[in-house]
Amino acid sequence: MTRIRWAVAALAAVALLSPASADEKAKKRLLFVTHSGGFIHESVSTAEDVLKEIGPKNGYEVTCWRFTGDPDAKVKVKKDGQEVETTALQKESERYRQDTRRTGAKTIEKEHCGRINADTLKKFDVVLFFTTGSRNTAPLTPDELKDLTAWVKAGGAFTGTHCATDTLYDSTYGDLIGGYFKTHPAIQKVKLKIEDPKHPAAVGITDGMDWTDEYYVFRDAPYSRDKLHIIMSIQADTFKPNPNGGRTDSDYAVSWCREEGKGKVFYTSLGHRNEVWKDEKFQQHLFGGLAWATGQAKGDATPTSKLKK
């Protein structure tokens, strides 16, 4: 990278995390959803704290929903060897408290609940998923997924981090987010490859940088470079997937973007570890993606396979 380009990137990085820059642009309403019908990452609690702290500094009003199901629904749970009836809210709150105990043992209250539908989406400019769950534990019903997709096509901004691709299997959600999780090896250090250094989401992370996290291997479909603009990937020779758990094409994307109608979609698989969320470089990467998705920063979305060599 030339000195001039490095200086421009450095100034952009400062702007993305600068309180002053937030005063120069209209506030955007961000909905952060961490509904975890499947595995609960303890970092969802850290992520929420980080977004609440630095979101306003970057011009975002942050709302956090930890549960998007019916909080009053009656469910059965086992307690002291017996099956007892409780509410979905109480059940999920206990799971959340247990799995976030190292990061504050938080619970889920009614104020942390909400349904994602045509009416509620009108209140937000961008939605950020850090979710798990499918079928009966999914963060969206089939009708709500239709509402979300329609909202994006009409100009909404949909974004996701890490396990946002481990969500809503066997639906059209994979086409919206851009891919589905297949497997992952143990947490490891790799070298990242910046495929589009001009994209706002490339700010903060340089080509060849060492990075430690849990990396996803994506299913062959719907993931495709014919549909997605790859921003960042793993240098394949530095990555060790599980035996028989890799891709035959050694294509290990980390972050991408795409357009959906008048709207935009951004995704990054980084964010498994608490340390990652606290890392300013990751914060710059994430907020660069949010800035692109909300139209505050320009960036290419041409599918990678269609770019001129």
Residue at 103 is within a domain: no
What confidence category does residue 288 fall into, taking pLDDT thresholds of 50, 70 and 90? very high
Whole-number Å distance between alpha carbons of 173 and 222? 10
Whole-number Å distance between alpha carbons of 15 and 33? 26
Domain count, the chain: 1
Provide the pLDDT for residue 6: 40
Residue at 79 is within a domain: no
Residue at 104 is within a domain: no
Provide the pLDDT for residue 25: 55
Element (H, E) at 265: strand 263-268
Residue at 260 is within a domain: yes
CATH at residue 237: 3.40.50.880
State pLDDT tens for residues 60-103.
Answer: 999 999 999 999 999 998 888 889 999 999 999 999 999 999 88
Residue at 261 is within a domain: yes
State pLDDT tens for residues 145-194.
Answer: 999 999 999 999 999 999 999 999 999 999 999 999 999 999 999 999 99
Residue at 93 is within a domain: no
- For 171, half-sphere exposure in the C-beta direction (CA atoms, 13 angstrom radius) is 23
Provide the pLDDT for residue 81: 85
Q: Judge residue 72's burial from the number of C-beta atoms within 10 Å of its C-beta, 0-12 exposed, 13-18 middle, 19 or more buried.
A: exposed
Provide the pLDDT for residue 17: 55
What does the buried/exposed string (b/e) look like for 93-129 if buried means 16 or more CB atoms within 10 Å of the residue's CB?
bebbeebbeebeebebeeebbbbbbeebbeebbbbbb
User: Is the CB of residue 17 less than 8 Å from the CB of residue 49?
Assistant: no
CA 125-52-133 angle, to 5 degrees, is 70
Residue at 165 is within a domain: yes
Provide the pLDDT for residue 12: 47
Q: Is the pLDDT of residue 136 over 90?
A: no
> Which residue range is the domain that position 181 belongs to?
3-69+114-306
Q: Is the pLDDT of residue 22 over 60?
A: no
Whole-number Å distance between alpha carbons of 129 and 33? 5
Residue of higher predicted confidence among 7 and 274: 274
Q: Is the pLDDT of residue 8 over 60?
A: no
Residue at 37 is within a domain: yes
State pLDDT tens for residues 217-239.
Answer: 999 999 999 999 999 999 999 99
Q: Is the pLDDT of residue 21 over 70?
A: no
* Sign, CA torsion 143/147/152/158: negative
Average pLDDT, the chain: 92
